[in-house]
Structure 1
Amino acid sequence: MPSFVVHRNGRPATTDDLAPLAFAGYAHFTALQVRGGRVRGLDLHLERLRSASVELFGRALPDERVRSFLRTAIEAGPADLSLTATVYSRPGEFTAADAGTEPDLLVRTGLPADGPSGPLALATVPYERVLPAVKHVGEVAKTYFLRQAARDGYDDAAFLDRRGRLSEGTIWNLAFWDGTTVVWPAADVLTGTTMSIVRRQLDRLGVPQDVRDVTPDDLPGLAGAVVMNSWTPGVPVHRIGSAPLPAAASFVGLLRRAYEAEPLAAV
């Protein structure tokens, strides 16, 4: 049987460690896939944890300590796994108190994931995340809108900002294809680590990219769309709202090639 772990600061978490976190909602995290004991985009995950910790707690754990906690959890499990690293502060939420110390890191491992095969149909929902640049926990709206979309016959939901622009999905970044250029939505979104990996590798491959407004009215003029997150660099989307989109297998293949060009590295 695979050995998966829940660690707090590099050691097995106890019931006393976990009980205060059962309903905690003031924390942030990063999620990643480990393959062969290695990960892609480690620098991006470390930067995400560091910057979000400074934003929420005013201080961050040193990168080397974070790496040691991640490494301990990875070495305790199988070569392929999913890992979630959550940073929190002991005073928790609903208080202005400051722990006065570095935040804690909870690391959880589990079965590896590759995401759905698609293609997906996405409902459109007017919604803007609070602190969109931070991957924070406790976002009830994302699950709520996912379930509402499923009830209405969709696979998931895509968000529209106050200007009517498509921004991101419930747990996904959005990317579009106009036939020659990869188009990223111009909106306040969480910049995903997979998104950042793909963008820098597309640059190295010489593939044109653009950041621009994408509204539902623009969809008929596009040649494809995908969602991506830590599971996958691209799940095809065949419909957003009432607008159908081409399958664009070549677009999905391009994104996968870009992602796989990022080397796997030891933690």
Structure 2
Amino acid sequence: MAIPPTLYPSYIDGQPVGASALNPLAFAGFAHFTAMQVRGSRIKALDLHLQRLRNASLELFKRAPDDALLRSYIRTATEEGASDQSLTVTVFSPHGEFTAASMEVEPAVFVRTAPPSDGPQGPLRLSLIEHERPLAAIKHVGEIGKTYYLHQAIREGFDDAAFVNRCGHLSEATIWNLVFWDGETVIWPEADMLKGTMMGAVQRQLTRLGVPQRYEAITLERVKELSGAAVMNSWTPGIPVTAMASHALDEATPFIELLHEAYKAEPADLP
């Protein structure tokens, strides 16, 4: 049965908004966001989402909405909407972009809700593209390259694309973090990239579980020596990767199970 659209409202600064109020945001590119999954009105790694919003706001706007205020906006969306949902918090300049008026202003907060998602089942086959995201540490909007390279990968017979920097090191995928496995240790790419909230949650729970981890500069040749690879984002802690470019990889089921076990151990909080 279809869920009524009213279960997934949108808000600006905590107030419900209709389509007309969203028109100025339709093509706005000077903004950043975080995306999370809500289950039973609770959110895992909420502290990491708030930290991401705070740090990116300070970088882009030189000021940040108070954490308590952001929590109140998120709480409104979870209390008034569906108990299970996808929730995106976008911080933007009310003065738009391409103008000095957007500098160092008090940013506004747009909260959008949508049906919940667990992501694709996988496994995924990834093409490799030489690409470096600008301001890679910020989850900013309007990144045409991610969709462009996804489409290009699909035309070439792949499911999605992973990025290689100018040094030949793997960094991240279009909307995913990459993670690798050598049979004993979880390996994270050493490169400029966005550190996902899922990545942060999994890392701290792997530490709690006593699972060894390290960062390493990963080339395709190095991938060929490893036992498995996966992608993760706010949808899921791990989808197996079974190909990178022309190189096939084992599905590494124990590795994927370990990532899911780590995320399961992450506590969920009310906003």
Contact 1:195 1:228 in 2 (8 A): yes
Contact 1:224 1:246 in 2 (8 A): yes
Q: Does 1:80 find its partner at 2:84?
A: yes
- Give the C-alpha shift of residue 21 in structure 1: 1.0
| Counterpart residue identity of residue 227, structure 1 | V
Q: Does 1:119 find its partner at 2:143?
A: no
**Following the alignment from structure 2 to structure 1, what is the Cα–Cα distance between the partners of residues 64 and 101?**
17
Contact 1:90 1:99 in 2 (8 A): no
After TM superposition, the structure 1 = structure 2 runs for residues 1-267 of structure 1, keeping only pairs within 5 Å, are 1-2=3-4, 3-98=7-102, 101-267=105-271
**Following the alignment from structure 1 to structure 2, what is the Cα–Cα distance between the partners of residues 15 and 171?**
26
Cα shift readout 1:178-237 (whole Å, capped 9, x = no counterpart): 000000000001000000000000000000001001101111110000000000000000
Percent of aligned positions that are identical? 56
- Give the C-alpha shift of residue 13 in structure 1: 1.3
When normalised by structure 1's length, the TM-score is 0.98
Q: Please tell me the root mean square deviation across aligned C-alpha atoms, in Å.
A: 1.0
User: Measured at CA, do residues 208 and 90 of structure 1 come closer, stay the same or move farther in structure 2, by a change above 3 Å?
Assistant: same
Contact 2:32 2:140 in 1 (8 A): yes
**Following the alignment from structure 1 to structure 2, what is the Cα–Cα distance between the partners of residues 101 and 160?**
35
**Displacement over 4 Å in runs of 4+:** none
Consecutive unaligned residues in structure 2, runs of 5 or more: none
**Following the alignment from structure 2 to structure 1, what is the Cα–Cα distance between the partners of residues 185 and 208?**
14
| Counterpart residue identity of residue 85, structure 1 | V
**Following the alignment from structure 2 to structure 1, what is the Cα–Cα distance between the partners of residues 19 and 257?**
45
- Give the C-alpha shift of residue 101 in structure 1: 4.2
- How many residues are aligned here? 267
- Give the C-alpha shift of residue 93 in structure 1: 1.1
Consecutive unaligned residues in structure 1, runs of 5 or more: none
**Following the alignment from structure 2 to structure 1, what is the Cα–Cα distance between the partners of residues 182 and 16?**
48
Contact 1:37 1:79 in 2 (8 A): yes
Contact 2:238 2:259 in 1 (8 A): yes
**Following the alignment from structure 1 to structure 2, what is the Cα–Cα distance between the partners of residues 21 and 251?**
40
Contact 2:63 2:104 in 1 (8 A): no
Contact 1:113 1:231 in 2 (8 A): yes
Contact 2:61 2:104 in 1 (8 A): no
- Give the C-alpha shift of residue 76 in structure 1: 1.3
